[in-house]
Every structure is written in C-alpha cells, then in structure tokens.
C-alpha cells in the first residue's frame, strides 16, 4: 500500500478580533491529485504496463484554540490522504485461481497551523508538522463463495504462503503547506477552498476542500 498526507484548516468569515478563548472545530473532505506518482503496481500479464495513480482523497479535523495567536488564529489539526496505485485482475496458472494485486498509498499528518491573512470571508493559512507515509501492496485470491457483501476476492497477505506477494513500507517525513478558504455565505458555517502540501521526500498533494465550521 502506498501512502501520503498533509494538513491545514482555516478560519473564515470573521475579521481579526482581540484575543479570546474558546475551542472551535473544523471538519473537511478532500479530493485532488498526488504527484509524482509513487512506485506503481505492475500488471503481471503485461509487465510493461504500470497502473496509474487515481485521485487522492482524504480529510482533515482541526481545533482552533484562540481567535488570535502568533499574529493570527492558531489551530491544531490532523489530516489523512489516500491514493490507490493500481489494481489488476488476472488468472494465476500456478494457483489455478483468479487473483488480484492492489497498490495503496496514504499519509497521516498532525500539524500546527496559523492564519496568515484574513479578509471578510476569505482566509489563507500555513501549516507544518511531521507526516507518516505508507506504501503497500496487497494480494487477493478469488473466493470460492462470495461474501454477503458481494466481494469476489479475499486478501491473503496474512498467510505465510503469500507473504512474498505483499509488501509494505513506512517513513516519517516533514510536511509544509498552504491553504485558502472562503465561506460560502456570510455568517454561514460551510466553506470551500484549496490546499497544497509539500512532503520532504519530494511528493506534492493538491486538493480541493469542502468543510464545515462548528462554532
């Protein structure tokens, strides 16, 4: 499985105010792109045809502790991102069964963020923190009897006979990012935005965001 992630969360729609206390919460959904692509799963039947990475998806949860701090509103957040990096079905002649190989990439990033700019319903924030990146490959065999959910394949990486068909690796990297947010309507809680994150092992994540600010 493969993986990456980053984070930032905004404070929007309100002009800067004197220091106040009180916790606010933001919840976001993310959808966008990861580049450059992590190592991709190779089709066993066509060794020269690598899979392509699908869109990165994820989300963020953030807590704002004060209206102002370090020159702007201060927040603590955790972000997660996921991208599938290939899935191939084929018939394994040795096992005499249909098989599937899947690749996965993900990141989990706790970070500290601060508003850089706020004007009306618009806010620009910066965030930084450590990120755990995971890259995984899983191996699945066709079930003799599909499960109740209709799944035709079962992950067999937990069986020693297939451990060489599976792999996973994890690393810790630094994450830096910027995000911009705009509240959909004045006084509202919903906002739209864009978020960019740079990972120190030369990966980039650019996603659109939709979020809800709980006051």
Domain 21-87+101-137+165-214 listed as CATH 2.120.10.80: no
| Exposure string for 76-110, b = 16+ CB within 10 A, e = fewer | bbbbbbbbbbbbbbeeeeeeeeebbbbbbbbbbbe
Strand 97-119, strand 122-142: pairing:
antiparallel
Mean pLDDT lowest for which of 83-87, 127-131, 153-157, 158-162? 83-87
Average pLDDT over residues 4-29: 54
- Which of residues 28 and 147 earns the better pLDDT score? 28
pTM of the model: 0.79
CB 91 within 8 A of CB 98: yes
Q: What is the per-residue pLDDT for 90? A: 86
% of the chain surpassing 90 pLDDT: 57
Q: What is the per-residue pLDDT for 145? A: 72
Q: What is the per-residue pLDDT for 51? A: 55
Average pLDDT over residues 36-53: 66
Distance CA 136, CA 38 (A): 11
Average pLDDT over residues 15-30: 67
Each domain of the chain, given as residue ranges in start order, spans 21-87+101-137+165-214
Residue pLDDT, tens place only, 94-142: 899 999 999 999 999 999 999 898 888 899 999 999 999 999 999 999 9
């Amino acid at each position: 499985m493969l993986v990456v992630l980053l984070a930032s969360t905004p404070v929007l729609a309100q002009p800067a105010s004197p220091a106040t206390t009180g916790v606010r919460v933001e919840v976001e959904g993310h959808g966008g792109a990861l580049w450059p692509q992590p190592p991709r799963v190779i089709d066993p039947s066509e060794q020269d045809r690598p899979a392509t990475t699908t869109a990165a998806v994820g989300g963020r949860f953030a807590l704002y502790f004060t209206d102002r701090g370090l020159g702007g509103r201060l927040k603590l957040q955790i972000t997660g991102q996921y991208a599938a990096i290939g899935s191939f079905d084929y018939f394994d002649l040795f096992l005499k069964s249909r098989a599937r190989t899947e690749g996965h990439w993900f990141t989990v990033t706790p970070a500290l963020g601060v508003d850089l700019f706020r004007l009306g319903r618009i806010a620009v924030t910066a965030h930084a923190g450590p990120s755990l990146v995971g890259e995984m490959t899983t191996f699945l065999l066709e079930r003799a009897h599909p499960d109740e959910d209709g799944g035709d394949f079962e992950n067999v990486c937990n069986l020693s006979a297939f451990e060489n068909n599976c792999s996973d690796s994890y690393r810790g990297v630094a994450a830096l990012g910027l995000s911009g947010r705009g509240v959909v309507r004045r006084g509202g809680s919903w906002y739209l935005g864009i978020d960019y994150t740079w990972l120190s092992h030369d990966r980039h994540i650019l996603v659109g965001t939709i979020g809800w600010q709980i006051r």
